[in-house]
A and B are shown apart, each in its own frame.
Chain A
């Protein structure tokens, strides 16, 4: 489903974020992308959502070459490969429901269906009682769950999460990763970028390790059992 072929990314100042990396991710896979800060994890995420283009190499998503993707096709790609962020990227002047519904508004989902789907995902992330809360009234773990709800409400094929546990305590972080695993069990491809190796080890999933823009490990571990 996702294929990176000898992808290199160099920035204008000469920094090389990725150096000829190649990997494949199948549909419905759960993959951890690990490595220290500056290893190139975020660059991989951004390349996958066409927030930037590679300097060299090819990126294929469902057989579509992202280098050849037209600008008008990018919004659709981003609706299909949604993202959860370390800083949540929620709007503080909107309620939980409104933040989640924004994704559906963008996709042009009718009002009635929108309400149904938002309520459905609120249950999935166990926030059904906090729909009318504003982000400032929620804990870090709850904010990330709102971010996840917003990401899954449009039924994307792939969910990308860039350091989703970076701002959370260990317990909340574990709960968030469990939630990603639950989403993955419903056949959604999940790619989580993190530098928290201890947490990753608890899940026994495929791990792609990056260091200085190169893949240093790509290993499949035994399945995590909840």
Chain B
């Protein structure tokens, strides 16, 4: 009965309904996009954080002895800040080089392990550990160059925080706007059905019997908006996947797991229902005084 009543309510005012659905779709689409961006950013950050953050290169063609490697490792570990440690010999460097350039025979001919340096790749427990670990590596004998990723990770981290901040602000603004638009739309519907409401009261309808169809109408707007927004964001993601894959290169982000997208849908449905229910509830509180 309630589904039928809600459907009648939505059908009676198609343009108001369209406005309600469109505004919730916009809000939830923005939420979808920011959720996907946040998810992607966090994955990218994790990728960079798990990658070696400091690489110390030694003289080309010269490998370290096991004792030298063990000494350096022991020194770094004594700081309590070391997370990962890996020694890459000149032979391993050659293999990596060859694998990366396997499609370019000319480059393969020009390079062998004699001109490639051995290296030590490390990562810290936190970003704050990196300057200390870098200083410890700099003082090691035979170190010729140090590559340091702290700046990349830090700027990426601050980008993500900015995106989250802006996203939260925009989502907050649009959420309030959606609730207010639904409130006004349902308020208009209540005003146009004033006679019916009055008759229902005279016939002995309870306050909730009168209110519920309007709240359910708000929820219906939220639900429809959620589905449309999720569908649009999924299409947008699929459409931009080739371009994103090219841009992300080795970062293992795509394809986005279906389960994750279903979780996004679930979240959006809950959020859509909350927006619609709140808009509807506030409208009935405001316009249906006993």
Contacts and interface: CB of A to CB of B under 8 A. Distances in A.
Contacts of A49: 202
A116 interface: no
B200 to A, nearest CB: 7
Interface of B: 1, 195-196, 199-206, 209, 290
Contacts of B196: 91
Given A105-B1, A106-B209, A78 B204 contact: yes
A72 interface: yes
14 contacts: A72-B206, A77-B204, A78-B201, A78-B204, A79-B204, A80-B204, A82-B203, A82-B204, A89-B199, A91-B195, A91-B199, A106-B200, A106-B204, A107-B204
Q: Which of A76, A83, A106 has the most CB of B within 10 A?
A: A106
A93 to B, nearest CB: 9
B204 A102 contact: no
A198 interface: no
Contacts of A78: 201-204
B290 A76 contact: no
Interface string A103-125: 10111000100000000000000
Given A71-B290, A105-B1, A106-B204, 17 more contacts: A49-B202, A72-B206, A75-B209, A76-B204, A77-B204, A79-B203, A79-B204, A82-B204, A83-B202, A89-B199, A89-B202, A90-B199, A91-B196, A102-B199, A102-B200, A102-B203, A107-B204
Nearest to A105: B1
A78 B210 CA distance: 15
Interface of B is mostly: helix
Nearest to A114: B1
Contacts of A106: 200, 203-206, 209
A155 to B, nearest CB: 13
Contact of B205 (A72, A75, A77): A75
Contacts of B205: 75, 106
Contacts of B203: 78-79, 82, 102-103, 106, 150
Contact of B206 (A75, A83, A102, A111): A75
Contacts of B201: 78
Nearest to B200: A106
A75 B206 CA distance: 6
Nearest to A72: B206
A80 B203 CA distance: 9
Contacts of B199: 89-91, 102
Nearest to B290: A71
**Which of B201, B203, B206 has its CB near the most chain A CB atoms (within 10 A)?**
B203
B205 to A, nearest CB: 4
Interface centre among B1, B195, B199 (most CB of A within 10 A): B199
A107 B209 CA distance: 10
